[in-house]
Structure 1
Amino acid sequence: MTLDKPAASWEDRVTVFTGRISRPITGSYITLWQRVPGAWVLRGSARTTAGGVYRFHYVSSVPTTSAFRTMIGVKAETALAISDYQLSNIQDRKIVLNTPAPWYATLTGASVTGRMVPAEPGKELALQSYLGRGRWQLLSIATMDTAGRFRLRVPDDVPATRTVRVLTRGVTQPLMEYSGLATIVVKAHLNPKVYAVSAAMVPHTYRAGCPVRPSSLRLIQLNYWGFDRKVHRGELVVRDAAVQKMISVWTSTFAAKFPIRQMRRVDRFGGSDIKSMAADNTSAFNCRRVTGNPYALSPHSYGWAIDINTVENPYLAANGVWYPSNGLAYRNRSVSRPGMLYASSTASKALVAQGYLWGGYWRKPDYQHFQPK
């Protein structure tokens, strides 16, 4: 009987063994044997088909180069025929991780990348983080491309140092493939970016006749700490000359982890200061009249003034009305709660150091408001 040399294969993948017997008896009982130190071990059985042909499908859980042979029957002493042995090369199936960066800034798209060999296009992979005591947490799932490459996102909205690994999904435990370990470090970072402003970017907060044109404004995108103790991305539209002052202020505020509810340009609220305040929005530029006083132009029209956490820091308007209406519970400043501003708050001190004054000192207090002297 003959045994064909099998093609090179991979651990956890099928290795195919084929051969035939010289007397083409259909239905002959054939067994497959593997040589291990000190013995031959039975690995499978099959029956011959037309022409005396037989075929085996064998899966090895480990990479190895081993000798295999076949025989008619199950005992070498009484076998009607035994084939010569053939060497089978079962290669190491791997998930190889690329070396991660030394660290990643929050909200910059931290991820684990690598390649699986051999490639299994469309196969799902999972990223896990080690929690200690043998416990792992699922972080993300992705599929590999036609070349076996993959990218798995790492949560980067909180600073953390994680030990991670990648493994195959959709297979039983013995067939899972695991990568080596990698360390991913995410650090809290303000990561400010400054952009020019066009009229199309401020369709509701700018209009002809405003004291500052869009060309003199800048959009700052930066990170801030939310009330959920996670880092979020925000945006402020300010006067060009105020950019460095704002970056300095928010660098201090971010380092202190002062919580911000949200930070969006007022155009997201149709230019409405009332809606922006009700949404507890921190914002700067808005060419408008003073809320509660239609005869005065707001300092926000110049791109210098800023309002912070408008619900936690309400405003008593000239007409005697407190804004926003959902911030009335915060008029009592003797009970300190997250997001409230005081003279001792990091944001307050940072803005004062940049030449701003705080509306909290006014006869009609505006606890949310800061503007240059």
Structure 2
Amino acid sequence: MQQSTVEEAAAESVTLKITAGGTPQPGKFFSDIGYFDISGTVSSGKAGERVEIYWYRVASKEWRRSLVLTTTDGGAFSGRQLVGHWELGLRFRATLGGNPAASEVVSSNEVKVDVRISYVRLNPIANVDALKSRRVTGYVYPARPGVSIHIDLKGADGYRLLMRATTDAAGTFSATFTQGTGELRSYRLRSGYVATNRGGDVVSPSRSFRRVAALNAVVTRTTAAEVAKTYRSGCPVGPSKLSTITMNYYGMSDQRMHRGVLIIRSSLTDEVIRGFAQALAHRYPVRKMNNPNVYGGNDPVQMEANNTSGFNCRKVVGNPYAQSPHSYGIAIDVNTVQNPYRDVNGRWWPKNGRSYVDRSPRRYGMLVYDSYLTRQLRKDDFFWGGLWSPGRDYQHFQYDR
């Protein structure tokens, strides 16, 4: 009777089956997504038998128990185990108690599954005009909707959360980067999401890009409103012969990018754009570039405000008998404080620019003969007022062809 019992126990067996559950691609396993759907039977057909599930750890070359299940009527058992780490050829066995490496343990067939790595990626990020936003995009693999993505910015103390996004049905996400508008610097971003199966973060490799100095000049036809304070009936030229150039410039006070407005004769827009493009490329700073309307068209006032401007129908400051070339849209004044003007009576304008009458040493924002802006505009037939003698008009450029 005792020998019969031993033979029956020895004949007992267990089978194991594992399928993928909760995965975005049926039949495929991915790290940190879904679960191993575990099932099998014990040949005894009894309920209440203990079944242990083991997986083989390649790194330590040992079997590790991951789950304990109990059979139901008919000897069936089933359970779920969250998918965590990834491994190709991950091996499982079920036993009726004990490590499958032991020879006396009743062990099931070996089940191998390939667990593919799931990940998140940021797409390459192109450099961006310092005054514009940049769309940041990426994707998760495997593709699935509803993944909450965090996008992090690298700083001196490591990464910090910058913005969030959510994946769509194709597994892609996007967000708008607005950080540091106007700055000229590099940024490093990474993306990530919380791996719910194990509570840690899945993060992408980082991507770097720069906010760059771009002139981004846009030429439009000047409207009556844009010259409301600088044009009146009887002026040599009106809005129909003028163009408004909206462009970026490098700020004198903060070394950041700003957007300004310059109104000029329509036939000279290419020349003016070339000049300011050269200035920007070599970081020549501009203090302000406002429409003279802001100052009521009053040139002494805008000179004291250190404003760079073009068209303004007016008399020459300090000489009420002469019509200014600005009235024709062929002249530009740049950084009026750092580049003062001496009128026919020997008076310097503006009064807050008199410390710059002495042109040596060269100081920030000053124009000299070999300044990139001076050189380019002179190449395009603009005369620079710093060469006038005996008068001086260091701020002034005038088309002279």
| TM surpasses 0.5 | yes
Q: 2:335 aligns with which of 303, 306, 309?
A: 309
Alpha-carbon RMSD across the aligned residues, in angstroms, is 4.7
Render the CA deviation track for 1:6-36: whole Å, top value 9, x for unaligned: 23342233534454876554xx876542234
**Per-residue CA shift, 1:195-245, capped at 9, x if unaligned?**
222234444444444432222211224444444555554432211011122
Q: Quick one: distance in 1 between partners of 2:262 and 2:337?
A: 18
Contact 1:128 1:139 (8 Å CA) reproduced: no
1:198 aligns with 2:223: yes
Separation (CA, whole Å) in 2 of partners of 1:282 and 1:43: 77
User: How big is the shift at 1:265?
Assistant: 2.8
Closer, same or farther: CA 369–178 of 1 in aligned 2, 3 Å: same
| Pair 115,240 (structure 1): closer, same or farther in 2 beyond 3 Å | same
CA contact (8 A) 1:206 1:286 kept: yes
Counterpart contact for 2:46–2:72, Cα < 8 Å: no
Query: Tell me, what secondary structure is at the counterpart of 1:306?
Result: strand
Query: Which residue in the other structure is 1:166 paired with?
Result: 190
2:30 is the counterpart of 1:10: yes
Closer, same or farther: CA 75–170 of 1 in aligned 2, 3 Å: closer
Change (3 A) 1:169 1:5: closer
Q: TM-score, normalised by structure 1?
A: 0.72
Q: 1:57 to 1:264 in 2, by over 3 A?
A: same
The TM-score with structure 2 as length reference comes to 0.68
Distance 1:275 1:78 in 2: 98
| Residue number among 268, 275, 289 corresponding to 1:249 in the alignment | 275
Q: Sort the Cα spacing of 1:370 and 1:364 in 2 relative to 1 into closer, same or farther, 3 A.
A: same
How big is the shift at 1:75? 3.3
Distance 1:312 1:34, change over 3 A: same
Instruction: Tell me the secondary structure at the aligned position of residue 288 of structure 2.
Output: coil
Q: Residues 255 and 99 of structure 1: is their aligned pair in 2 closer, same or farther, counting only changes over 3 Å?
A: closer
- The 3-state SS of whatever aligns with 2:374 is helix
CA distance, structure 2, for counterparts of residue 49 and residue 276 of structure 1: 90
Distance across 2 between alignment mates of 1:58 and 1:29? 22
Q: Which runs of 5+ in 1 are unaligned?
A: none
The more displaced of 140-149 and 209-218 is 140-149
Structure 2 counterpart SS, 1:5: strand
Candidates 142, 153, 174, aligned match of 1:150? 174
The alpha-carbon distance between structure 1 residues 256 and 264, as it changes in their structure 2 partners (threshold 3 A), is: same
Q: Retained in 1: the 8 A contact 2:292–2:302?
A: yes
Supply the AA of the counterpart residue of 1:238: I
Q: How does 1:77-92 map to 2 (within 5 A)?
A: 85-92=110-117
Matched, 1:115 2:104: no
Q: Structure 2: which 5+ runs fail to align? A: 1-13, 22-27
- Which residue is 1:357 aligned to? 383
- Alignment match, 1:35: 56
Per-residue deviation, 1:109: 6.0
Match of 2:374 in 1: 348
> Per the alignment, in what secondary structure is the counterpart of residue 215 of structure 1?
helix
1:282 maps to a residue whose letter is: T
Q: Report if the CA contact (8 A) 1:139-1:155 is conserved.
A: no
DSSP-derived class of the 1:246 partner: helix
For 1:212 and 1:79, locate their aligned partners in 2 and report how far apart those are by CA, in whole Å.
105
What does 1:211-360 correspond to in 2, within 5 Å? 211-227=236-252, 232-268=258-294, 271=297, 273=299, 276-290=302-316, 297-316=323-342, 323-360=349-386
Letter matched to residue 360 of structure 2: S
C-alpha distance in structure 2 between counterparts of 1:269 and 1:116, whole Å: 54
Is the 2:308–2:336 Cα contact (8 Å) retained in structure 1?
yes
Q: Are the structure 2 counterparts of residues 18 and 354 from structure 1 closer, same or farther at C-alpha, using a change threshold of 3 Å? A: same
Equivalent position SS for 2:20: coil
Q: Is the 8 A contact 1:122 1:145 kept in 2?
A: yes
User: Which one of the candidate residues 66, 73, 76 is aligned to 1:44?
Assistant: 66
Establish whether residue 95 from structure 1 lines up as the match of residue 109 from structure 2.
no
Amino acid paired to 2:19: K
| 3-state SS of paired residue (1:125) | strand
Separation in 2 of the partners of 1:30 and 1:234?
A: 76
3-state SS, counterpart of residue 212 of structure 1: coil
Mapped partners of 2:105, 2:301: distance in 1? 90
Deviation, 1:185, is: 8.1
Instruction: After TM superposition, give the deviation of residue 308 of structure 1 in Å.
Output: 0.7
Structure 1 pair 343–59 and aligned structure 2 pair: CA distance change class (3 A) = same
Q: How many residue pairs get matched?
A: 363
**Structure (1 or 2) with the larger CA radius of gyration:** 2
Task: Find the partner of 2:92 among 61, 68, 73.
Answer: 68
